[in-house]
Amino acid sequence: MNLFNPAEDENVSMVHPEYFIISGLSGVPHIKLYYVFLFAVYVLSVLANSAVMAVICLDRRLQTPKYVAVFNLAFVDLFGSSALVPKLLDVFLLGNRRIPFRNCLVYMFFCYTCLSMQSFNLVALAYDRLLAIIFPLHYQVKMTHRFMLRLICGFWLLVVVLVAVAAGLLSRLSFCRSVVINSYFCDHGQIYRLSCNSHYPNYMVSCIYPVVIFWLPLAFILLSYAAISCTLAKVAAVQERLKALRTCAAHLSLVAIYFIPLLITFTLMENIHPNSRIINLSLTSVFPPLLNPVIYTLQTQEIKESFGRLIRSARRRRRGKHGARAKVWTALH
């Protein structure tokens, strides 16, 4: 059996539809208000993540390995929201539910890539906290800019290859039945089930993908915090424990926001209405990009101080300009 082109084995010529129709959330009353809400969340997400990226770029004190990962997380959130939400609004709010076949695969590629990179960014931040607390004396040596950049680039390469394989396998399927996708975007699982020839390779990818993207990162994060807890239990001073936990507070909040809704949705998937599942997954896709920069700003002292310094610096420059203008006005009159 040819796993990469099952159509050849079954003597079925590949038939690609001209377009797919995205038809999720049908029959939900006042659903357009929900999409207007998503648009507001998207605008706030773009502003918040842009602000975090700008602060990290402008403040040299934040240009550390940890904030390389935070910057990448903000970039992924910004890019992922921009890949998903505008098209989602075009499909459901404006009614343009038809999406060309190749455009659908590209749409799927970017959505899955950004969603997956959110997970691996949390792994990078967990590893940073693990080294900082368990090996504080060796942290500066082990956690360097080069190491963090290599780690993040490795995660990008893994995600891009995995999602590209999934999209490439979809392009080798034949679709001679329905072209209606019951989801809020071009969902891999919904698409390959519409094919009329063997989709076993796609099924295998759909089984491997959650393990690599979801379960393994979650297992690493839980094990890293178990190791951190064991280390902190040996620390006698309560203040030192609290200080160490405060450095992990922002990251733990991000982990909870990203993983808990997905765990609930996957656990109850067979027992909830398809529309409820789609709403849960769509909220899981758009809310973390909004909350991630807010949480890091509120719970991370360095970013709050950096925001304060930049605001004070901007005010001083503004006052200097006003003062210079006043002197010029006085000299002229």
Tell me, yes or no, whether 3 lies in a domain: no
Average pLDDT over residues 209-235: 90
What is the per-residue pLDDT across 241-260, written as a single tens digit (0 to 9) for each? 777 777 788 888 889 888 98
- Let me know: does 77 contact 117? Beta carbons within 8 Å: no
DSSP H or E segment with residue 180: strand 180-181
Tell me, yes or no, whether 326 lies in a domain: no
Question: Regarding predicted confidence, which is higher, 80 or 307?
Answer: 80
**pLDDT of res. 331:** 54
Q: Which residues, in sequence order, are bridge partners of residue 22?
A: 181
Radius of gyration for the chain, computed over Cα atoms and rounded to the nearest angstrom: 24
CATH number at residue 254: 1.20.1070.10
Tell me, yes or no, whether 1 lies in a domain: no
Domain count, the chain: 1
The SS3 of residue 39 is helix
Tell me, yes or no, whether 313 lies in a domain: yes
Instruction: Please state, in angstroms and rounded to a whole number, the distance separating the CA atoms of residues 1 and 3.
Output: 6
pTM (predicted TM-score): 0.84
pLDDT at 57 over 50: yes
What is the per-residue pLDDT across 156-182, written as a single tens digit (0 to 9) for each? 999 999 999 999 999 889 888 788 988
What is the per-residue pLDDT across 124-143, written as a single tens digit (0 to 9) for each? 999 999 998 888 888 888 89
Tokens of 133: 């607390």
Which among 26, 12, 96 has a CA at the least distance from the CA of 274?
A: 26
Segments forming the whole domain that contains residue 209: 15-321
Average pLDDT over residues 291-298: 80
- Let me know: does 55 contact 310? Beta carbons within 8 Å: yes
Amino acid symbol at 124: A
Tell me, yes or no, whether 108 lies in a domain: yes
What is the per-residue pLDDT across 258-273, written as a single tens digit (0 to 9) for each? 898 888 777 766 666 7
Kindly report the number of other CB atoms within 10 A of residue 198's CB atom: 19
Average pLDDT over residues 276-292: 83
**pLDDT of res. 6:** 43
Q: Which residues fall within 8 angstroms of residue 78, CB to CB, at 6 or more apart?
A: 45, 46, 49, 50, 53, 289
Tokens of 39: 């648009």
Which among 89, 79, 68 has a CA at the least distance from the CA of 109?
A: 79
